[in-house]
Amino acid sequence: MPIYEYGCDACGKVIEVMQKFSDEPLKTCPDCSGHLTKLISRTSFQFKGTGWYVTDYARKPESKAKSEADSKPAADSKAG
């Protein structure tokens, strides 16, 4: 479940609450009964490895020499 941060407009206290996505947001401060505002906070996730699709999971390009050899037509051989 995600952790949400709320700030009280009256007393300035910041609280953290673990809530489901479907739960209604809190509206009143548990300390002073003032109005709560949902705060936007940083996420907390961690990249493993370098953490980028391009370097970790992207398909590796084929070698340039191989692709050039495949694209050139075979030379005509003259017998005789």
Domain 1-42 classified CATH 2.20.28? yes
So what's the pLDDT on residue 57?
A: 66
In angstroms, the Cα distances linking 75 to 30, 68, 69, 72, 78 are 84, 14, 12, 9, 10
Domain boundaries, the chain: 1-42
Average pLDDT of the residues in 33-37: 96
- pTM assigned to the model: 0.53
